[in-house]
Amino acid sequence: MDELKTLIKELEHEPPHSLARQRLRLAQEATAAPRDRRWSRLLRHNRREQPLLSGRRLAMGAAVAAAVAAGVAVPSLLGSADPAYALTKNQDGSINLKIYDFRNPEHVEKELADWGVPADITYLPLGKRCGNNRAPFLKGDDVGATKEELSNSDAAVQAGLRERLEKSSSYQAIRPQDGITIYPRHIKPGQIALIEVMENPVTPTVERPGVAWQFSGRLTTGPIEPCKVVADPSATDIGDATPPAGS
């Protein structure tokens, strides 16, 4: 392949001084966006309040209906008058998590661990997020999205992005279906489900629509750092986001 090497040498150019302009472009972006959140926003699932599923009572009803359909309901916190959450195991092996009250995430973690799912769960009010990355990202989560794709509002581009996102390792394991549904078969040994749930203290209504709650979930191999809570002004932005499948 000497001919190819010769051709390469012949066709390549020496970098010009004007390349400094591109360095400036990078420096401007680095200065303006101390921490880029565009990517993690894609891994976060906004839940818009749907009239048919609004309110915790109705959400609980949906959980019961789903459990009946699956036929192997395993209600958690049996005997509790005020369950903070419900975990149900579906016939396909997936585990559905519904949160009714944003307290005691460690109980959810423990019960998930009993079912073989190592999880790290954080509850935050809507409008806050963890400002640190907390844990390493999985290679299988990089869908190679470009700046143009991320900022492009064209439905086809967004649909393409979502399709790629849905093939990511984390999405396979933690999906925004019927609340949060975890697929243990997509969690490899050593991986941890890192879930952050943000709840809006004000329940949105049809008249005043908004985000009821949102969560971000991904897999990591750890170690996981504690959440450093920061403000997230984009949290209430419902924009023209397409509701995720299953909502």
We find the least distance from the C-beta atom of residue 17 to another protein, in angstroms, to be: 11
Residue with tokens 């998590």: 97
Q: Which residue has the tokens 């509790």?
A: 80
Is residue 188 a contact point for another protein (CB under 8 A)?
Answer: no
- Give the Cα separation of 43 and 130 in Å (integer): 14
Identify whether the C-beta of residue 96 lies closer than 8 Å to the C-beta of residue 66. Answer: yes
146 binds another protein (CB under 8 A): yes
The residue range among 15-23, 58-66, 74-82, 113-121 that interacts with another protein, by the rule CB under 8 A, is: 15-23
Helix (H) or strand (E) holding 11: helix 2-11
Stretch that binds another protein, among 54-62, 97-105, 141-149, 170-178 (CB under 8 A): 141-149
- Is 166 a binding residue for another protein by CB under 8 A? The answer is no
Residue with smaller CB distance to another protein, 125 or 136: 136
DSSP state of 43: T
Report the phi/psi class of residue 190: left, alpha or beta, with left for phi > 0 and alpha for psi in -120 to 50.
left
Applying CB under 8 A, which of residues 57, 71, 92, 139 lies at the interface with another protein?
139
Residues for the chain: how many in total?
Answer: 247
Residues that bind another protein (CB under 8 A): 1, 3-8, 10-16, 18-19, 21-23, 25-27, 29-31, 33-36, 38-39, 133, 136-137, 139, 141-142, 144, 146-147
